[in-house]
Amino acid sequence: MVGLGISNSGGMMGADIMILKKQESITAGSTWQIGDYFSTEEEAPVLDEQQDYNLLSITQNSLLTTAVVRRALDTCDMADIQVFNDTDQTIIWAYAEAFGYHGQTRGQLPLRLNPATYNTTLNVTGAGSNLGNLTEYTYRLGQTSQYACSKAPARLNTPLVCNEVPEDCSYPIAFYGPGSGPFNLPAEAGLPFGGPGGVSYVMLQIHYNNPTGLRNAVDSSGITVHYTQQLRPFDMGVLTLGSYDINVPPGRSNFSVPANACPSACTSRLTHSLTLTYNFLHMHQTGSAIVTRHVRNGSAIQPLGYKNWYDFDAQGASQVLPESRTLMAGDTLVTTCTYNTESRTNVTSFGLSSQDEMCYNFLNYYPAAAHASEW
pLDDT above 60 (res 120) = no
Q: Which of 36-40, 57-61, 171-175, 322-326 has the highest mean pLDDT?
A: 322-326
- pLDDT tens track for 52-105: 999 999 888 888 888 899 999 889 888 888 888 778 888 888 888 777 776 678
pLDDT in tens, 256-275: 999 999 999 999 999 899 99
Specify the pLDDT at position 122: 29
Please tell me whether residue 345 adopts helix, strand or coil conformation.
coil
Q: What is the pLDDT of residue 331?
A: 97
pLDDT confidence tier of residue 127, bands split at 50, 70 and 90: very low
| pLDDT above 90 coverage of the chain, percent | 36
* Least confident span in 41-45, 132-136, 295-299: 132-136
Q: Any idea where the domains of the chain sit in the sequence?
A: 2-112, 129-235, 239-375
Average pLDDT over residues 280-306: 95
Mean pLDDT of the chain: 82
CATH architecture of 129-235: Sandwich (2.60)
> What's residue 118's pLDDT?
40
| Surface-to-core class of residue 242, CB atoms within 10 Å of its CB (0-12 exposed, 13-18 middle, 19+ buried) | buried
Examine the pLDDT at 144 and tell me if it is beyond 70. no
Q: How far is CA 74 from CA 83, 225, 348, in A?
A: 6, 38, 37
What average pLDDT does the segment 340-361 reach? 91
Tens-digit pLDDT profile for residues 208-225: 777 777 888 777 777 777
How far apart CA 366 and CA 372 sit, in angstroms, is 10
Q: How far apart are CA 317 and CA 323, in angstroms?
A: 18
Average pLDDT over residues 135-159: 66
pLDDT(374) > 60: no
Name the residue among 342, 348, 346, 333 with its Cα closest to residue 257.
348
Across residues 350-365, what is the average pLDDT? 90
- Predicted local confidence at residue 102, as pLDDT: 65
- In the chain, what are the helix, strand and coil shares in percent, each to the nearest 5? 5, 45, 50
CA distance 356 to 283: 9
What's the CATH fold of domain 239-375? Jelly Rolls (2.60.120)
How confident is residue 373, by pLDDT bands cut at 50, 70 and 90?
low
pLDDT for the residue numbered 126: 32
Q: Which segment of 116-125, 157-166, 242-251 scores lowest on mean pLDDT?
A: 116-125
pLDDT above 70 covers a percentage of the chain that reads: 84
Residue 69 CA to residue 75 CA, distance in Å, equals 15
**Distance separating alpha carbons of residues 25 and 16, to the nearest angstrom:** 29
Would the CATH topology of 129-235 be identical to that of 239-375? yes
* pLDDT value at 300 more than 90: yes
Average pLDDT for 320-338: 96
